[in-house]
Amino acid sequence: MHDIAAATLPSGTLLPSLGLGTWKMGENARTASQEVESLKRGLNLGMTLIDTAEMYGEGGAELITGKAIEGRRDEVFLVSKVYPFNASRQGVIDACERSLQRLKTDQLDLYLLHWRGEHDLEETVAGFEELRRAGKIREWGVSNFDVEDMEDLMEVEDGENCAANQVLYNLSRRGIEHDLLPWCQERGIPIMAYSPIEQGRILRNTELIRIAKAYQATPAQLVLAFVMRARNTIAIPKSSDPHRVEENAGAAGLEISREDWAALDTVFPPPFRKQPLEML
Distance of CA 217 to the CA centre of its chain: 23
Find the catalytic residue in 56, 111, 169, 194: 56
Which residue, 86, 68, 65, 48, is CA-closest to 96?
A: 86
Coil, helix or strand for 205? coil
114 is in an annotated binding site: yes
Q: Could you tell me whether strands 6-8 and 14-16 are parallel, antiparallel, or unpaired per DSSP bridges?
A: antiparallel
Q: Could you confirm whether 56 is annotated as catalytic?
A: yes
Q: Is 8 left (phi over 0), alpha (psi -120 to 50) or beta?
A: beta
- Specify whether the CB–CB gap between 181 and 208 falls below 8 A: no
- Specify whether the CB–CB gap between 192 and 168 falls below 8 A: no
In the chain, DSSP finds a helix count (H) and a strand count (E) of: 10, 10
Binding-site sequence positions for substrate:
114
Binding-site sequence positions:
114
Catalytic positions, written as ranges: 56
